[in-house]
Every structure is written in C-alpha cells, then in structure tokens.
C-alpha cells in the first residue's frame, strides 16, 4: 500500500492487512483521498454575476475542496461511524461523564417543527410554544436545585461554570469587595474548576483532601481569609463520595463573606433526591447532556445551564423568559447589566427539548429513581469487584461512580493504561483513567442507571477475568492491546509531540515506493 | 557541588551562587512521556514555591515550582523541541532552568539525597 509522508495510506478503499485495520473494517481514506479537487460531485449551472457585492474580498485562489457525490460522502461518514464506540453500541462507563442512554422519544420531540424549524430572530408572538418549553425547563431546573434563577444559554458545562463564577465576581464587586482575589479548590474537584478560576484572574488555593477522600471543613476554615471570593466544590466529588460536611463548609464559606460554587457534573447521583440549594450552594452548572440524557460524548452538542441563588440572581446573564402582558417574552437586554449576553442567541434549543422530554417522561419521582438506580449500579460494581480491585476510600458507600486504584496491578508490569486498552478488546469503552489525581493509577467507573443487571454482570465478569489474568502474569495480553479494534495502540507521545494537523496532497509529495 | 530536593520532586544542583533546576528521575517516571515543557522567561524573579515552569505528559500537566527564591538566568531551550530529554536524562540534558540564588540559607530547608530517597520509597 502506498503511504503519504504522514504515514497515511493513499488511494481509495485501501484494505489494511498489516498493523491496522482488518478485512471487514478497511482503513478509511480522508475525503480528500476519496474525491479529488479537480472534479465536482454535483453539477451546478454556471452563474453570471454583475456584481458580487463583496467589495473586492472575493476569493481569488482555488478553494481546493474534494469533489464527492452524495453517496460517496454518506458512505465515508457511515464507515467512520462503524469504527466508533458509542453508547448506542455498547456500555460506556466513562467516569464523571454520565454516558446514559438517550431515549428516542427525545429525538422525536426535538424534531417537532415548532422547535426545529424556527429562527432565533422570529417575532416572539410566533414562538410562544418554544418560549413555554424554555420556561418549563427553567422551572424544572430551579425546582430540582431549589435556586432562584437560571441562565439557560451556556453552551457547555465549562461555559456555565465560567458564568457562575462571573456572577460571583460581579456580586463581590457590587459589594465593594473586589479585593477578594483567591478561590479555594479542593483536590477532589473537577479539573475545569481551577482552570475557570484562573481564567477569571483569581489565584487558586488548593484545599487538601482527607485520607478518606472527602473535604475537611477544618481545612476549608483554615484556608478562608478576607481575600477569598469563593470555593469551588464538586459534590458528589470526583472520588464518587458525597461530601458529608458540605453544609458546614457552606456555612463557613458564607460566614467568611465568600460564595459557594458547586460543580454540577455529578448531579446524576442526587437529582430529585437532594436539592443543592438546601446545601447552601450559590451557583451550580447542570450538564443537560449528562444528567438529562441527550446525545453526547464527542457526538451531540452540550448545554450547561447555570442556576443561581437569591444573592446571585441579579447578576444572571440574558436572555431569559418571563411572563409579560402579551404572553411570554424573552428578556434580551437589561440596562447596566453585570454580564449581559453570553451567547449569540438563546442557547441549544434541541438540547432543551431533549432534557425537558426526559424530565417530563420520568416525572419528579422517576428522576429520583434514576439517580438511585445509578447509585445502586455503581455500588453493585464496587461490591462485585472489591475483592480483586483495590478501593482507595472504603469508609463510605460510593455514589454514582466506583473508584479503584492500581495497587492490584503492582508487580504485574501492567499499567492502568494497558488494563484499559485490554477492556476495548472485550467490547467495552474504558473507564476514566488516571483521574482523580488524588488516587494513584485511578480507574473511575460510572455505569449510570441505563445498564441492566445482565450488562453489569458481564462487565464485572470481564473486569475480574482481566484482573486475574494480569495478576497471573499474562502481561502480553495487556501491553499489546487493543488487537480487535479498528486501530492498534496509538502512539500518544508522537501524536502530542509531532501532531499532523494539515492534509497534504500526495501529488505534491515525492513518490513513495509501493 | 551539592544537589538538594523538594517534596514536589524538583532537584536543584548548586554550582556557586547558581542552581540548576529540573525534575527527578522518579518524577519523570511517574509522569510518563513528556510532550511539552513551558519554561520561564530569563530575568524573571521568583519566590520560593512560585510556579516556574509547566511540564505536560501524556498523563497530566504539572507545575514546576522554584525550589528557592531567585532570578532566572538561563533556560534549557532544547526542551522546546525535544521535551523527551526530560525522560531520557532528567538530571543531565533534561535540566529546565538556572536560577541565581538570592538566599543560600533557603537550601538548608530542602531535602538531601537520602531524605528524598526516603520520601519516594
């Protein structure tokens, strides 16, 4: 097979027989390698312009896009999708990602023309149904969290997190407390938390975790000072534990004049069971794409609404929906607003419909049961595997995810990474690895409520069998894995050190020998 | 010539009034393949414990802290294109920066080779 300088095979439909690919899953060429830039896949009549009205900015060079027919393009993407592992093809127990099933009812609702065929600039009198949907979703989110306001528009969890922290910053400034420049972040928090604080110009002060994996209220008190603007806590934390002292922590934080930001990425463990507002949180983002189904994981778009307490509600960004004299209206501008608008339009409408569909089809009691089932499933995995795998924090039952460390792999020559790769050969997406950082060689498994007992049993059987095989010294099975996936082990080091970010025309390259 | 260590796995090799700083072989092994090193600017003044550099490996990004107070006098610019030197020779060609030591007594607060070895047992 001929290769271009990047080591990619060239030519159409090249069937790999060597290091990668198999007879049934051929290496997939790039679109540029299927079509060429000299031909077009569609016939368009010539257009004559009198004036292009581009003021001289019209493109003067060739666009050089590959010309493909619709079936060629379609087949390319379908073939690629068959190499992918998705929640629709198998269990996807990636910790802290809540890879739950996306019910097809969500898709049916999101495709209703009243939601899918409208334009953000339409007169509000013609989109009352869509506004009512946003209004109901806001109501559900505020009710589930017991908070005073919600900004729906953030496009992802990290975006909502940033806005929550911007609201906190604005509130501190409004109080004349702009000198508060420190944000406390416990070691068991999500990685985005310190990044968000640093992005806003705050100095991040870590709070050490206790030996049992939870945050110590005394350590928080010791870290609090008149410089502290907020704490960013993840609850349940990334060790899968519910913070037992969260209410005391909230009180200490408020007494010190600071705000309490809670990372809501793990809300699936407590939705419908615990209202974060009752714990004293001031702001929390909610990943609609995790907790309330919707497609995600490199697939669908995200949506990260942020809920705000009474104290922060005046600093919420626009737009939001409110009841007016002529029905619902969308508030898009406020004089002297602290934050103003944070997205081009109103956010991810399709995600809103899917999340609200999930809520309405479950009901309040159904959401609580989903959370309880998710916790039950994680504890089932922990109980079935803890005699082989090492549990770093055995003092508490786990919440929605089970955490193991790599001490059972000691002396085997098999790393957490090797172990995860071997799981691919067994048909499972690996768990989250090497996170949280407070645990050596962490493996974080989140089954969600979607998986049946049969699937959990099969997963546990495979995990136990792999662990026993590693301990028995069958190292090759792990270091050579994956052997059954469309690709062999990727060279992550080379990919990071010498990334290939641009396609080059093989014709422009020196000819390589066949 | 003495070499001292921090509990955060930096070493400082003292040559006169200058210290050569990098990460220990233990640290590079824990991090795995290093793919990027961000070095401080020459002339930058740092307090003991300030963030001086960042190393990124296939597993994680980690800060490198100044083991003593001082001013950066030289950085190992080879690491920009060859971050793998930190893996192959962390105490030699994989050094990160040289710092003019402001207060030599700060060195006494650091670990010696035996103390560091005990820490990484």
ipTM for this prediction = 0.71
Please tell me the predicted confidence (pLDDT) of residue A274. 97
**Which domains, ranges and CATH numbers included, belong to chain B?**
2-106 (2.40.50.100)
Q: Two tokens at A13?
A: 């439909």
Roughly what angle, to the nearest 10 degrees, separates helices A192-199 and A157-174?
40
Q: Two tokens at B75?
A: 């950085």
Which residues of B are less than 8 Å from A492 in CB distance? 33, 58
**Least confident among A18-22, A87-91, A98-102:** A18-22
Would you list the DSSP string of A432-481? EES-STTSTT-EEE---TTS-HHHHHHHHHHHHHHHHHHHTT-THHHHT-
Contact criterion met (CB < 8 Å) for A493 and B83: no
**Least confident among A311-315, A344-348, A459-463:** A344-348
Q: Look at phi and psi of residue A294 and say left if phi exceeds 0, alpha if psi is from -120 to 50, else beta.
A: left
Q: Two tokens at A43?
A: 């016939």
Q: Two tokens at A476?
A: 């090759």
Contact criterion met (CB < 8 Å) for A496 and B60: no
What's the gap in Å between the CA of A277 and the closest CA on chain B? 34
- Helix residue spans in A263-388 (DSSP H): 276-279, 288-291, 349-385
pLDDT tens profile A111-144: 999 999 999 999 999 999 999 999 999 999 999 9
| Residue A197: burial class (beta carbons within 10 Å; 0-12, 13-18, 19+) | buried
Closest CA to A30 of A48, A7, A49, A12: A12
Average pLDDT, chain A: 89
User: What does the pLDDT average to over A228-250?
Assistant: 95
Closest CA to A132 of A354, A358, A352: A352
How many residues are present in chain A?
514
Contact, A346 vs A361, CB < 8 A?
no
CA dist A482 and A427 (Å) reads: 10
Residues of B engaging A, defined by a Cβ cutoff of 8 Å: 33, 35-36, 56, 58-60, 83-84
Contacts 24+ apart (CB under 8 A), A424-428: A424/A85, A424/A481, A424/A482, A424/A484, A424/A485, A425/A481, A425/A482, A425/A483, A425/A484, A425/A485, A426/A462, A426/A466, A427/A90, A428/A90, A428/A91, A428/A92, A428/A93, A428/A459, A428/A462
Q: Which of A434, A492, A497 sits opposite B60 (nearest CB)?
A: A434
What's the gap in Å between the CA of A497 and the closest CA on chain B? 5
CA dist A227 and A211 (Å) reads: 27
- The 8-class DSSP code of residue A49 comes to -
CA dist A433 and A184 (Å) reads: 25
- The residue of chain B with its CA nearest to that of A490 is B58
Per-residue confidence at A491, pLDDT binned at 50, 70, 90? confident
Examine the pLDDT at A10 and tell me if it is beyond 80. Answer: no
- The residue of chain B with its CA nearest to that of A499 is B35
Could you tell me how far CA B2 lies from the centroid of its own chain? 14
Per-residue confidence at A12, pLDDT binned at 50, 70, 90? very low
Helix (H) or strand (E) holding A83: helix A70-83
CA dist A102 and A104 (Å) reads: 6
Judge whether A198 is closer than 8 Å to chain B, CB to CB. Answer: no
Which residues of A are less than 8 Å from B33 in CB distance? 492-493, 496
CA dist A306 and A316 (Å) reads: 9
pTM above 0.95, yes or no: no
Examine the pLDDT at B1 and tell me if it is beyond 90. Answer: no
Distance separating the N- and C-terminal Cα atoms of chain B: 25
**Least confident among A85-89, A249-253, B50-54:** A85-89
- The 8-class DSSP code of residue A96 comes to T
Pairing of strands A203-207, A182-186: parallel
pLDDT tens profile A362-412: 999 999 999 999 999 999 999 999 999 999 999 899 999 999 999 999 999
Judge whether A411 is closer than 8 Å to chain B, CB to CB. Answer: no
Closest CA to A165 of A334, A328, A342: A342
Pairing of strands A320-324, A327-331: antiparallel
CA dist A267 and A311 (Å) reads: 22
Please tell me the predicted confidence (pLDDT) of residue A265. 93
Sheet of strand A402-404, all strands in order from the earlier edge strand to the far edge: A402-404, A443-445, A432-433
Judge whether A387 is closer than 8 Å to chain B, CB to CB. Answer: no
CA dist A267 and A263 (Å) reads: 8
Contact, A479 vs A418, CB < 8 A?
yes
**Which domains, ranges and CATH numbers included, belong to chain A?**
106-360 (3.40.640.10), 365-497 (3.90.1150.10)
Report CA-CA distances (Å) from A121 to A125, A126, A328, A344, A346: 11, 10, 15, 11, 10
Contact, A89 vs A485, CB < 8 A?
no
Size of interface A-B (CB pairs under 8 A): 18
Q: Collapsing DSSP states into helix, strand and coil, what is residue A82?
A: helix
pLDDT tens profile A165-211: 999 999 999 999 999 999 999 988 888 999 999 999 999 999 988 99
Which residues of B are less than 8 Å from A496 in CB distance? 33, 35-36, 56, 58
CA dist A263 and A402 (Å) reads: 19
- The 8-class DSSP code of residue A173 comes to H
């Amino acid at each position: 097979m001929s290769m271009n300088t990047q080591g990619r095979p060239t030519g159409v439909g090249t069937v790999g027989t060597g290091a990668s690919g198999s007879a049934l899953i051929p290496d997939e060429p790039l679109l540029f390698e299927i079509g060429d830039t000299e031909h077009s896949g569609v016939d368009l009549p010539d257009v004559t312009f009198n004036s292009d009205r581009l003021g001289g900015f019209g493109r003067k060079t060739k666009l050089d896009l590959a010309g493909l027919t619709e079936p060629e393009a379609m087949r390319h993407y379908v073939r690629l999708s068959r190499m992918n592992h998705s929640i629709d093809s198998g269990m996807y127990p990636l910790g802290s990602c809540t890879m739950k099933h996306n019910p097809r009812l969500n898709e049916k609702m999101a495709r209703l023309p009243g939601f899918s065929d409208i334009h953000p600039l339409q007169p509000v009198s013609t989109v009352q149904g869509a506004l009512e949907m946003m209004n109901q979703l806001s109501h559900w989110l505020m009710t589930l969290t017991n908070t005073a306001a919600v900004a729906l528009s953030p496009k992802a969890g990290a975006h909502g997190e940033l806005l929550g922290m911007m609201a906190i910053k604005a509130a501190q400034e409004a109080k004349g407390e702009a000198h508060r420049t420190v944000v406390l972040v416990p070691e068991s928090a999500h990685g985005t938390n310190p990044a968000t604080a640093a992005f806003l110009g705050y100095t991040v002060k870590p709070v050490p975790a206790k030996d049992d994996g939870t945050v110590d209220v005394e350590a928080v008190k010791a870290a609090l000072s008149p410089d502290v603007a907020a704490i960013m806590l993840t609850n349940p934390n990334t060790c899968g534990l519910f913070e037992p002292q969260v209410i005391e922590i909230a009180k200490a934080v408020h007494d010190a004049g600071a705000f309490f930001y809670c990372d809501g990425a793990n809300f699936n463990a407590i939705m419908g069971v615990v209202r974060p507002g009752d714990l004293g949180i001031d702001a929390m983002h909610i990943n609609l794409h995790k907790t309330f189904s919707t497609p995600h994981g490199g697939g669908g778009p995200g949506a990260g609404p942020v809920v705000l307490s009474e104290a922060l509600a005046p600093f919420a960004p626009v737009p939001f929906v409110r009841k007016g004299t002529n029905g619902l209206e969308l508030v898009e501008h406020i004089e002297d607003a602290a934050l103003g608008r944070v997205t081009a339009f109103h956010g991810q409408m399709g995600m809103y419909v899917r999340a609200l569909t999930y809520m309405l089809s479950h009901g309040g009691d159904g959401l609580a049961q989903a959370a309880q089932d998710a916790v039950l499933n994680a504890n089932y995995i922990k109980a079935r595997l803890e005699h082989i795998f090492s549990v770093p924090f055995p003092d508490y039952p786990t919440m929605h995810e089970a955490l193991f460390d790599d001490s059972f792999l000691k002396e085997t020559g098999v790393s957490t990474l090797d172990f995860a790769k071997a799981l691919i050969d067994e048909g499972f997406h690996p768990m989250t690895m090497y996170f949280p950082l407070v645990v050596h060689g962490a493996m974080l498994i989140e089954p969600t409520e979607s998986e049946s007992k049969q699937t959990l049993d099969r997963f546990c059987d495979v995990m136990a069998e792999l662990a026993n095989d590693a301990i028995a010294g069958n190292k090759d099975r792990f270091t050579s894995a994956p052997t059954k996936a469309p690709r062999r082990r990727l060279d992550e080091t080379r990919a990071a050190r010498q990334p290939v970010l641009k396609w080059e025309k093989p014709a422009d390259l020196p000819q390589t020998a066949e | 010539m003495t070499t001292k260590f921090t509990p955060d796995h930096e070493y400082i090799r003292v040559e006169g009034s200058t210290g050569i700083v990098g990460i220990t072989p233990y640290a590079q092994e824990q991090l795995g393949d290093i793919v990027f090193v961000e070095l401080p600017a020459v002339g930058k003044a740092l307090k003991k414990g300030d963030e001086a550099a960042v190393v990124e490996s296939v597993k994680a990004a980690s800060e490198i802290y100044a083991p003593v107070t001082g001013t950066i006098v030289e950085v190992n610019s080879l690491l920009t294109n060859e971050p793998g030197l930190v893996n192959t020779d962390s105490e030699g060609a994989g050094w990160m920066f040289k710092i003019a030591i402001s207060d030599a007594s700060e060195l006494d607060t650091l670990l010696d080779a035996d103390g560091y070895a005990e820490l990484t047992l």
